[in-house]
Amino acid sequence: MTKYKWSPPGQRIIKTSAAVLLCLLFYMLRGYRGNQMPAEAAITAIICMQAYLTDTAENAVSRLLGTMIGACWGFLFLLVMMLLPSLGAEPLILYPLMGIGTLVALHSAVLLHREDTSALSAIVFICVVVAYPDIRDPLGQAFHRILDVMLGTAAAVAVNAIHLPRKRMRGKVFFLPIRYLSADPYQKLQPGVQFRLQSLFRDGARICLISDHAPTVQTFQYNDMNITVPMIVMDGAAIYDPVRNVYLSTANIDPASARWLMKRLDGMDAGYFIYTVHRDRNCIYHHGAMTEREQTVYQYLSRSPYRYYLAEDHFSMSDIVYFKIVAAGEDLMRIRKVLEPSLEKMKLRSVIRAQAGLDGGCSLYFYAANADVRHAKEHLMRLLQQEDPRLVMRDVTADKPCLAMPETIRLLRKLKAEYEPFFLIAQYKKRIWQH
């Protein structure tokens, strides 16, 4: 039990309980007690309640439509039974007719292009007719069923429309890898993802976006986003401020290590790209004869105005941030295997990643040993804490990268709930931190 810590109920749980309470109070005021207390309204409120008002409203509409379809067919069924009582006198005839009525209720929802309500239509139909022949008021039975559902949906929507007091956690800096937002870092974000991210920025959330790549205009529309914290780019080798379009810091490769690496790569006849940052510009040079693979990558990436591809090798050794080799997978592994025993001594690290613009292709990267995301986070926090020493770090994690659209939106909703928790939860967490 020591592994599990109690946590306060979330806002959705509190709202659901409040909606159920409203339903029970309504029927209590109408004089219902004990076994007479209807449960359908409370059940509807529980089912309809979602994390956001729009989702609750959509769920409520679906449930209400399904209830009306099932209740109408249930009323017609009972009316026929009362007009032709001989049909209901024999169970072997009555129950097959109920089965046919279930089929009609299901198919009606499908014909109305409301497949999401078909199961509920059938459930409501059965609930209305199952007590026959002990039903004396079929219209009242159907009406009360619809009334209960309407009350439950109204309670769920009304409660969810009330904005419970929240507290923005301005003392947190959220580190969010871009690979959780988009499968292709060189393409624009999906509108739904971009809207929610922009909403978080607009509300003042401190979110540091982490990218394996250099800044590119294809990934984010910087002018449309009120980014509140500089980005960590180049797999932790640089900290970049997209608002001012400046690099706050870079972890460059030592010139002696850069010369050693260039000499070894030249000895293996390997062509490579050299990425530098000079005067806040990402300047890229290619060394050696350009292969077909490298030409493909160059044509794909050179569209970005945030990169400057230069033909001459006129660069300063002190400006080199990393090297990149574009080749076949087996060639990359061979180069890495040859150089790996000496990398630690030369204070370098290597990584192989998928290469954008090259279907199924990879690239081999060489960085300074201290040029990683962990060091970049610590450095950025020191910069931010100069203005506010109370800031703390918070990593945003997901089960896997390149999430599908619904999963990405859920991740951003989770981030928003942590940034703007319910006020009582925020106070509870504050006391925990103090102790």
Read out DSSP for 6-54?
--PPPHHHHHHHHHHHHHHHHHHHTT--GGGS--HHHHHHHHH--SSHH
Q: Which pLDDT value is given to residue 126?
A: 84
Q: Which pLDDT value is given to residue 305?
A: 65
What are 22-39's pLDDT values in tens digits? 888 888 888 887 766 777
What are 45-66's pLDDT values in tens digits? 887 777 666 666 777 788 788 8
| In the block, residue with structure tokens 């939860």 | 425
Q: Which pLDDT value is given to residue 100?
A: 92
User: In the structure encoding, which two tokens stand for residue 352, read together?
Assistant: 């192989």
Q: Which pLDDT value is given to residue 306?
A: 63
Percentages of the chain per state (helix, strand, coil), in multiples of 5: 55, 15, 30
Residue 263 has pLDDT above 70, yes or no: yes
What are 398-419's pLDDT values in tens digits? 766 666 777 888 888 888 888 8
Q: Which pLDDT value is given to residue 217?
A: 47
Instruction: Record the pTM.
Output: 0.63
User: In the structure encoding, which two tokens stand for residue 241, read together?
Assistant: 């401020």
- DSSP 8-class letter at 422: B
Neighbour-count burial of 54, counting CB atoms closer than 10 A to its CB (0-12 exposed, 13-18 middle, 19+ buried): exposed
Spell out the domain ranges in the chain: 11-161, 172-250+374-434, 255-369
Average pLDDT, the chain: 82
User: In the structure encoding, which two tokens stand for residue 357, read together?
Assistant: 């613009």
Question: Which residues make Cβ contacts (< 8 Å) with residue 143, sequence separation at least 6?
Answer: 71
**Is domain 255-369 annotated with CATH 3.40.50.80?**
no
| Mean pLDDT, range 157-185, rounded to an integer | 79
Q: Which pLDDT value is given to residue 150?
A: 80
More confident site: 232 or 142: 232
Q: Which pLDDT value is given to residue 70?
A: 86
Shortest CA distance to 193 belongs to which of 416, 422, 24? 416
Alpha carbons 228 and 199: distance in angstroms, whole number: 12
| In the block, residue with structure tokens 């982490």 | 210
Residue 379 has pLDDT above 90, yes or no: yes
**Is domain 172-250+374-434 annotated with CATH 3.40.1350?**
no
SS3 275: strand
Alpha carbons 115 and 66: distance in angstroms, whole number: 9
